[in-house]
Chains A and B, each alone.
Chain A
């Protein structure tokens, strides 16, 4: 039976959870399930384009970007949690009069409402 999943990422880019979530998401696709949305709530550092791991370390942000592009799965990053942690896109930077932009490509800022809508209708909600 194919199920609809929404994933919530509360793990920082430096913690195991952010990578485990990616492995889990990849396996869902392998097993013909659907991932409606990956919502980055407290794991905002995963969406920060300035994160630069050493060359022999795993680039979790890049893994998510490739995953999203390959399977057309939206990576939504909570806007209020992002502002609190200093990750912004061009629009938000203008609104807040900030001089830098650091939301990584492939991620979109969105409100909690987008998560509510996606998760209220999904078969499984999994938090990492």
Chain B
């Protein structure tokens, strides 16, 4: 239970970084925190105490494995997070190129 709570706390730290920080790069790092927390939570959900990793290394293994589905889901979630972070960083770089600043308070051309 403590482990799940610490994942939620990591999630809230990332959310705090996204909402309050003014530097664009810090917002992207906040996203990395959130994704890390969610992946960790996912992988921990599938844990059963006293079981083995879900890889068959001999023909007759006793079938006492931890849940392999969350591990597959985490793999997919990591790939999606990679794509999103790459896109976010390239947009941030081009914003720096146009506005010459990373400060989000100065990037305010759209109004109304």
A-B complex is real: no
A interface residues with partner B (beta carbon < 8 Å): none
